[in-house]
Structure 1
Amino acid sequence: MTHPHPPNSGSGVDVNPAAAVARNARHFGDSTVISYAGGDLTYAQLDLKAARLATVLADGGVGDGDRVAYLGLNSASFLVTMLASFRLGAVFVPVNFRLAEPELHSVLQRSGATVLVCEEGHRASAEHVRAATPLSRFLLIDDDPDVPATEGVTGWELWSGPIAAAQPFPSVAARTFDDPAILMFTSGTTGLPKGVILTYGNAWWNSVNVDAMLDTRRGDVTYAAAPLFHIGALNSFALRTLVRGGTVVVRRQFDPVRFLDDLVTHRVNSMFAVPAMLAALSRVPGVFDADLSHLRSVVVAGAPVPPSLIELYASHGILLQQAWGLTETAPFATHLPAEHTLRKLGSAGIPMPHTQVRVVDATTNQPLKPGEAGEIVVRGPNVTPGYWENPEATAAAFDDEGWFHSGDVGYLDEDGCLFIVDRLKDMIISGGENVYPAEVERALSAMPGVVDVAVVGSPDEQWGETVVAVVSPVEGTTVTLDDVREYAATQLARYKLPRKLKIVQDLPRNASGKLDKTVIRRLAEEEG
């Protein structure tokens, strides 16, 4: 028997999240989708506002493939702008709000964005760099009580008026797996940020991986206090929650006391967090006496997770699930199931169901045996197709077999669990020996009297490089180099022990929660 039409593989199905939100608005319109201090939104309200903003953007010439940039903190407006862009088939460009002006200019110029949606707190920076970019339209958010706008600003449109006057855009662009959805620039702490193209398929396949591995459910409440311009916060749970009909509690920025209150009050089920957030939460008085029984899925990533932090939460019945990935993997390539949290303490987990991960020799590209450290490479439908208008960087990142080379060093154990060692480029070569800063940082992370620690290499005439510990101590506590070396010596070989110590009040981190090693190296070189 022959079929008149070949079987449909599903590759042409519409996977636009804006279509899913429209569907939820139709069937569950009164359900709260965004809980936000500046004003909650139901699904019907979110879909209507996004549809009206889509008309505003389309009237200004935005269409299929055009870029729409957003500059501001976490807010309902961030998600409205993203969905309006998706509705038109435009590419959403969430901008790191902590960028210095030269970096901001680079991102806005290189993205080719023609429209910028901006909060008042970032308007001045945008004005300083706008002249040398393709931007031609500037919308200033003026309907968020948390971000009052300045009226009568030359060259800016207050966005509430046009949105209120617009008719809802009547359709949602159908998007398939290969269509670009988001252009997200890497943090750039080690060089010029690269624009990572994330397709609708990348986002969709990550959601399939997450649904397969984590205890998430339709109607869940998720928490978004980590910056949404970062792929971990946006695509781990927030975007997936909009699609599935749940509620996203959006906070403009992280505050540990507010964090605890929100977890209890909103009965949060899932969240993405960087280790620094959970370390701060653990220091809030009464945190482990609070009712957090509804918290089922806590994914920790974005920076190395101290085993002592995992053990602390586990002792109070909260199993942190470490994951590993990058912007380029949208975001998760591996995840450690909750059942293995303590049995595989410190592991970043096993490959996601639809993602391949292996460890290779960085020189020969040959797979390594269990226990041997090398570069982690990834292949799968959640991996970016490449870098925006940067074929050289794309060619350098992918090998002939389609494996994406992460630049991270790790090893797989006998059970196939991944352990992260460090970044290739952060490795210190001291006296001919390889020292991975992350290993030393992990050893020192639980040291009494230490709040935060970073390890970097410093030029040394005798050793080539020497190991420097940059430490933020508990207020009123004195930490000496001898203290640091004595504590680390119980866990590390002598050649890995710090030979220099720098005390600082706070360690600089980027908006993704990662240690800013460029700034830290400068701190390590300063006298005093």
Structure 2
Amino acid sequence: MAAVDISPAAALRRRAQSPTPAVVYEGREVSAAQLVDSSAELAVSLAANGLRRGDRIAYLGFNSVTFLETMIAAAHLGAVFVPVNFRLAADEVRHILDDSGAHTLVVEEGHRELVESIAAEVPARRHVLVDTDSVCPVTAAPDAVWTPLSSLYGSGRTAREPVALYDDDLAMLMYTSGTTGRPKGVMLTHGNLWWNAVNVDSVVDTRADDVNLAVAPLFHIGGLNALTLRTLLRGGTVVLRRGFDPAQCLEDLVRHRVSSFFAVPAMFAALARVPGFAEADLGALRSAIVAGAPVPPQLIRDYGARGILLQQAWGLTETAPFATYLPAGLTLGKAGSAGAPMPYTEVCLTDPVTGVRIQETDTRGEICVRGPNVTAGYWNNPDATRAAFDDAGWFHTGDIAHRDEDDLYYIVDRLKDMIISGGENVYPAEVERVLAACPGVLEAAVIGVPDPRWGESVLAVLACEPGTAPTVEEVRAFAGDHLARYKLPTRVMVAEQLPRNASGKLVKAELRRWVESHQPVKAV
């Protein structure tokens, strides 16, 4: 059977005549035809500046139409797109640009100074400064190291047809958050991205004319490929914001009659606290997907009481992103479950010590994934690739889960975050889900701390509503109805907010540093 061209540049061209706006960016409408023309023109100029098939082109900036144009232009040429986390420090950005061997770097004004500080140490041959976006204007004339993005348009060069791209062609390098050690470049092929869309459209109530609100960072696989890319290429409208503002998000959901929306749990929690949320008309919202971090069942119940069924999914950058999904009809009855395997993805549990496959229900093990949406490995890192995959091709995720009698999976925690107290395994995410429902608590995080008697004990860090911080005795009394005694916090600390990265994931390393620099307020 002949291979099928699955190029996103070609897919966008197929919808070019649609009158429906492809993107609504900070109030400005962009048609599919405009996006096709601008990305094709950019591709031609990038090629004239030496970018070739297989070369890497990096983007450093917030969510924007230029981000999407650059990604589509890369696909037009068969180049590899490298979205860079805009919250990283100079040394971290240097590592990504060096590791990826980026040929071209596209940068927004707000990151110009950072790039200039490392320009001599990275391999990029072309530095392009975004000067075409009124939302992020250039504040001073760039020096000679920069090519203004505006100079790459209007060249008059003839745009060639997009190159054909197939399942195994590399689409992008997405660097993992790097909460421990150096970030690794996850190799995502066009097949990985395409098969995730097939999975999503097979089980989620998505439609060709969806209006999708994109507020999660596009450099994160959830923000880009959960719903945004498929909406753009299938014919819907992407309402694109540079970042997440809870009040603006609520306004957009109502005004644009948003039908699909991906966000991490912290975003959904913040949205629910916006004045007017309870009365807002969200009747158009059919597909609200929550993933990217452990989801407190109470959050799902709170939204269910509001008439909105949050649909929990689970996956990683390496699974592009979804490996499991809980259908809307099971949202309340199975609150806390990450769902069943996606239709074209296999999932299993293995013993993290022996590697033996676990067949029994309600038995914890490492969750492993296999399928066409799963990465082939890590860029220039064969050791990490070998460590992540077994001989049967299963990707070992490092997440601990169990499966119930209905073959639905429940993610317990990261294997490396497990606490061993008195010989018993304590999974922080399990405790955090309970503590998040404690009266007055907005967010909860749990880590293990040294204990002379038990080896480790549980310390909880809580972000609370003003004047409502519970004592450790109150926390233990509340959680004691839901957790075994050895899982209960022995100490409680209160923080204004919990440290999260741009993907919404809790940064345990930073939390531990914060704990070490502060004295616990209560102990038992």
2:443 aligned to which of 425, 441, 452: 452
Amino acid at match of 1:104: V
8 Å Cα contact 1:457-1:521 kept in structure 2? no
The alpha carbon displacement at 1:20 in A equals 0.6
Secondary structure of the 2:278 match is: helix
The alpha carbon displacement at 1:159 in A equals 0.6
8 Å Cα contact 1:458-1:521 kept in structure 2? no
1:32 matched to 2:1? The reply is no
Partner Cα distance (1:150, 1:115) in 2: 22
1:241 matched to 2:231? The reply is yes
1:264 matched to 2:268? The reply is no
Paired position in structure 2 for 1:147: 136
2:50 aligned to which of 61, 66, 91: 61
The alpha carbon displacement at 1:370 in A equals 0.7
1:487 aligned to which of 478, 501, 510: 478
1:381 matched to 2:372? The reply is yes
Secondary structure of the 1:288 match is: coil
Partner Cα distance (1:144, 1:339) in 2: 42
Paired position in structure 1 for 2:339: 349
Partner Cα distance (2:57, 2:29) in 1: 24
Secondary structure of the 1:507 match is: coil
Check 1:146–1:198 CA distance in 2 against 1; reply closer, same or farther (3 A cut).
same
5 Å-filtered alignment, 1:121-520, equals: 121-154=110-143, 155-368=145-358, 369-520=360-511
The alpha carbon displacement at 1:39 in A equals 3.2
Partner Cα distance (1:109, 1:366) in 2: 38
Partner Cα distance (2:414, 2:163) in 1: 39
8 Å Cα contact 1:16-1:174 kept in structure 2? yes
The alpha carbon displacement at 1:300 in A equals 0.4
1:154-196 CA deviation, whole Å, 9 max, x = no partner? 1112111221335352110100000000100001112211100
Instruction: Report the TM-score when normalising by structure 2.
Output: 0.97
Partner Cα distance (2:508, 2:205) in 1: 35
8 Å Cα contact 1:33-1:41 kept in structure 2? yes
Amino acid at match of 2:121: A
Partner Cα distance (2:380, 2:225) in 1: 23
8 Å Cα contact 1:52-1:163 kept in structure 2? yes
The alpha carbon displacement at 1:13 in A equals 0.7
Q: Which moved more, 1:211-220 or 1:38-47?
A: 38-47
Amino acid at match of 1:208: V
Partner Cα distance (2:314, 2:271) in 1: 21
1:285-314 CA deviation, whole Å, 9 max, x = no partner? 221211111111111000111111111111
Amino acid at match of 2:517: E
8 Å Cα contact 2:57-2:102 kept in structure 1? yes
8 Å Cα contact 2:345-2:373 kept in structure 1? yes
Amino acid at match of 2:99: R
2:13 aligned to which of 22, 36, 48: 22
1:84 aligned to which of 67, 73, 77: 73
Partner Cα distance (1:514, 1:166) in 2: 45
1:99 matched to 2:88? The reply is yes
* Backbone CA RMSD of aligned residues: 1.1
The alpha carbon displacement at 1:38 in A equals 6.6
Amino acid at match of 1:468: L
Partner Cα distance (2:244, 2:404) in 1: 35
Paired position in structure 1 for 2:522: none
Secondary structure of the 1:506 match is: coil
What are structure 2's unaligned runs of at least 5 residues? 520-524
Paired position in structure 2 for 1:5: none
Partner Cα distance (1:475, 1:35) in 2: 37
8 Å Cα contact 2:469-2:494 kept in structure 1? no
Amino acid at match of 2:515: A
Secondary structure of the 2:74 match is: helix
Check 1:168–1:512 CA distance in 2 against 1; reply closer, same or farther (3 A cut).
farther
8 Å Cα contact 2:441-2:464 kept in structure 1? yes
The alpha carbon displacement at 1:21 in A equals 0.6
8 Å Cα contact 2:340-2:409 kept in structure 1? yes
The alpha carbon displacement at 1:527 in A equals 3.0
What are structure 1's unaligned runs of at least 5 residues? 1-7
Instruction: Report the TM-score when normalising by structure 1.
Output: 0.96
1:398-428 CA deviation, whole Å, 9 max, x = no partner? 0000000000000111110000100000001
Q: May I ask how many residue pairs the two structures share in their alignment?
A: 517
Check 1:38–1:122 CA distance in 2 against 1; reply closer, same or farther (3 A cut).
farther
The alpha carbon displacement at 1:512 in A equals 0.9
8 Å Cα contact 2:441-2:469 kept in structure 1? no
Check 1:432–1:168 CA distance in 2 against 1; reply closer, same or farther (3 A cut).
farther
Amino acid at match of 1:69: A
Partner Cα distance (2:63, 2:163) in 1: 25
Paired-residue identity, %: 57
8 Å Cα contact 1:458-1:524 kept in structure 2? no
1:215-245 CA deviation, whole Å, 9 max, x = no partner? 1111211010000000011011111112101
Secondary structure of the 2:268 match is: helix
8 Å Cα contact 1:223-1:268 kept in structure 2? yes
Q: Which moved more, 1:380-389 or 1:462-471?
A: 462-471
Paired position in structure 1 for 2:38: 49
8 Å Cα contact 2:46-2:152 kept in structure 1? no
1:481-504 CA deviation, whole Å, 9 max, x = no partner? 222222211111111111122211
Partner Cα distance (2:274, 2:156) in 1: 46
Amino acid at match of 1:378: V
The alpha carbon displacement at 1:256 in A equals 0.7
Secondary structure of the 1:51 match is: helix
Secondary structure of the 1:344 match is: coil
Partner Cα distance (1:268, 1:285) in 2: 19
The alpha carbon displacement at 1:128 in A equals 1.5
8 Å Cα contact 1:186-1:327 kept in structure 2? yes
